[in-house]
Structure 1
C-alpha cells in the first residue's frame, strides 16, 4: 500500500470515498458530515495546505485523511477535561475508507502511518476528535492508544469528543 499526499487529480476518488462515509454515518443515525461538509472546496484547501493524504492499494485510492502539524484552533479550548500534553501536536482528521475496504484494518493503518510521520517530524503527541455518536471512530482511537480528554467545539458550534495519544 502507498500512503501519499493527495493531488487535485485524486479529487474525484476522494469525494467518492467521503460520500460513502457520509452515507454510512447517515445510515447509522450519526449527525456528522450531514450538512455538506466536507466538500470539494474543503478537500482542495487541504491539498493546497499540503495536509491531505490518500492510501492506495494497487493504484486504487481506498482511503483518505488529513494529517497536520499546524495545530487546530478548535483545540484551543477543551471543556470537561484537559489535554495530556501542551507540546506541539499532530492532528489526524477525516479518516474515510472505501466501503469495499471496510473492516480490513485500514483505519488502524492510517493512524499508525500518521503517527510514524509525526515521529519523523519530532512531534510528541497526536490529537483527534469525533462526534459523540460515532462509536466506530471512538473505538478505533481507543484501540490505538488514544485517551479521551474532554469536549471541544468545531466551527459550526457542535461538540466533539477529543482524544490525544502521547507518542
Structure 2
C-alpha cells in the first residue's frame, strides 16, 4: 500500500535515503553521493504533497519512498541521444525512489512503481530517469515496460525512461 508522506514520516524517510545512498556508494555509483536528496528536498516533497511512502504489508512499516510529480518538467524537455514517444506536457514523473535496506531483495522497488501507476491511473504517460550505472533501477524499469528514451541532465547525465499505458476503450 502506498500513501502520501507526512511530516512525521521524515526521520524514517531520511533513514531510507541514507541507506540507499550507502547502497549506491558501495556499488561505486556516484548517484546521491553528495547532498542530494537532502532533508530539505524531502520536506519540500511532503509540503507539496508529492512525497509518497510504501507501507510493507506484513510489518506496517515504511519500506520505501518516492516523489511523484505531475505536469511538465523543464529538465525533461532537453533530451539527447533520443526522444520522447510523444509531445505530451502532462505526465507523471517518478523521482527520489528508495527502498529500506530492511526490505531489499523483496521486489519493493518494483512495487513502488506499480503502486504509483495504479494510484495515478488517470495518466497514461509515466517518465523517470536514473544514473547510467544504476543497473538495478534500469532492470526494474525495463521489467515494468518502461523504455529507455535518451539522456537528460540532472546531477550529470541520467538515462530517461518512459512508459505509455494504453487507455481502456
Q: What is the TM-score of this pair, normalised by structure 2?
A: 0.92
- Aligned residue for 1:38? 37
Q: CA deviation at 1:71?
A: 2.4
1:68 aligns with 2:66: no
Cα distance in 2 for residues equivalent to 1:52 and 1:103? 23
- Aligned residue for 1:140? 140
Q: Which runs of 5+ in 2 are unaligned?
A: none
1:46-61 counterparts in 2 under 5 A?
46-57=45-56, 58-61=59-62
Cα distance in 1 for residues equivalent to 2:112 and 2:72? 19
- Aligned residue for 1:128? 128
Runs of 4+ with >6 A deviation: none
Residue from 107, 110, 129 that aligns with 2:109: 107
Q: CA deviation at 1:70?
A: 2.7
Give the stretch that moved more between structures: 26-35 or 52-61. 52-61
Task: Tell me how large the CA RMSD over aligned residues is.
Answer: 1.0
Cα distance in 1 for residues equivalent to 2:73 and 2:116? 16
Cα distance in 2 for residues equivalent to 1:70 and 1:17? 27
SS state at 1:100 partner: helix
Q: What is the TM-score of this pair, normalised by structure 1?
A: 0.93
1:159 aligns with 2:157: yes
Q: CA deviation at 1:86?
A: 1.8
- Aligned residue for 2:6? 7
SS state at 2:31 partner: coil
Q: CA deviation at 1:103?
A: 1.1
SS state at 2:71 partner: coil
Give the stretch that moved more between structures: 110-119 or 134-143. 110-119
Count of matched residue pairs: 162
